Amino acid sequence: MDSELIKLLEWLSKQQGTSVDIALKKAVTTAAYIHDITVNQGGRLLIQRKDKTIGEIILK
């Protein structure tokens, strides 16, 4: 892994209050789930912002 990815994983683990290993596992699991729902099943990934507007995250 390059240093930028390691720094990002360290930041993510601190945000989650967990180890780098667990943060990485959670990130990969989440990415796989989102990929399955959006790409394989044709679903959409929607978010609600603080101002209550809805946006869509499109992954390619």
pLDDT digits (tens, 9 = 90+) for 1-47: 899 999 999 999 999 999 999 999 999 999 999 999 999 999 999 99
Query: What are the residue boundaries of the structural domains of the chain, listed by start?
Result: 3-57
Indicate the DSSP class of residue 28: H
Encoding tokens for residue 34?
Answer: 């989102």
Q: What is the pLDDT of residue 60?
A: 76
User: Whole-structure pTM over 0.75, yes or no?
Assistant: yes
pLDDT on residue 57 = 93
The DSSP secondary-structure symbol of 33 reads: H
pLDDT at 1: 83
Q: Is 3 exposed, middle or buried (0-12, 13-18, 19+ CB in 10 A)?
A: exposed
d(CA 22, CA 24): 5
